[in-house]
A and B are shown apart, each in its own frame.
Chain A
Amino acid sequence: MATGNTSGLDPKTELAITLVNAGILAVPQIVAAIQAIKANSQKVAPADATALQAAVEALLTDADANDDHVIQQATSEGAV
């Protein structure tokens, strides 16, 4: 098993991606989500109050966009 980590991801996440790439299970959305969450959770809050407020709003706007996508898709798939 390779022990190097050239991607910046933790080894277990890298292994998961390797398994998915090997075709064991096709869950690219999950891997992409984990990568996005990892990058998101490692963000550092800006010290400047104005920049901080803008960063908060940007995160919540992105959350709303994802949630709106889910709601619209669910509605078109028959959810009431």
Chain B
Amino acid sequence: MKFAIRSLAVVLLVGLAACSHNVNTTPGATPPSPQYNAAVGSDDFSIGLRAFCDQAVNFKAAINDPAISVAIQQGCKKAAQSNKLASAAIRAGNSSGATAYLNASITILQGLTPSLLNIKDANSQAAMKLAQSSAIAGLQVAINLQPKP
């Protein structure tokens, strides 16, 4: 079972990574817009974060530890607030600000690792760690898509 879960995690992450460099690769297409790519990245991260946070709610009964569930939701709230600030920075054309907020979100999500490791139900813990990895991978996509100064 553990092998299957790890295999699944690997293929999901590889699938996510494979998505990360595909913006505007159509032959003959116009050059990508930096702001457009940045907006794609912010939206990608919001999708991955939402999946992680929704799953934490869906697994709440199996996690069976209110303190852990609240800690995860506090991280979710902070990461979502940070991404909203990143989106606002992208609207304003502030790529360095957007990148800073996205990096802050990585720190927030990585900071949830101790809570996830304290989940006693093995399947719930594996599922949440997988979702965390996917959300962070989505975040890395977002950072990669930010315009470089």
A to B contact number (C-beta, < 8 Å)? 195
Count how many chain B residues have C-beta atoms less than 8 Å from C-beta atoms of the other chain.
Answer: 65
Give me the interface of A with B, judged by CB distance under 8 Å: 9-10, 12-13, 15-16, 19-20, 24-27, 29-34, 36-38, 40-45, 47, 52, 55-57, 59-60, 62-71, 73-75, 77-80
- Interface of A (DSSP majority class): helix
Give the chain A neighbours of B84 by CB distance below 8 A.
63-64, 67-68, 71
Listed by A's residue number, 19 A-B pairs whose Cβ atoms lie within 8 Å are A13-B11, A13-B12, A13-B15, A15-B11, A26-B127, A30-B130, A37-B19, A38-B22, A41-B23, A45-B33, A59-B43, A60-B90, A63-B83, A66-B43, A77-B69, A77-B70, A78-B69, A78-B73, A79-B73
Are B51 and A33 within 8 A (Cβ)? yes
- Complex interface bits, B75-94 against A, C-beta within 8 A gives 1, otherwise 0: 01101110110010011000
Give the chain B neighbours of A16 by CB distance below 8 A.
8, 11-12, 15
Does B40 make an interface contact (CB < 8 A)?
yes
Are A79 and B8 within 8 A (Cβ)? no
- 5 tightest CB-CB pairs across the interface, nearest first? A66-B46, A13-B15, A33-B51, A74-B77, A59-B39
Are B19 and A66 within 8 A (Cβ)? no
Are A71 and B22 within 8 A (Cβ)? no
Are A10 and B53 within 8 A (Cβ)? no
Are B130 and A27 within 8 A (Cβ)? yes
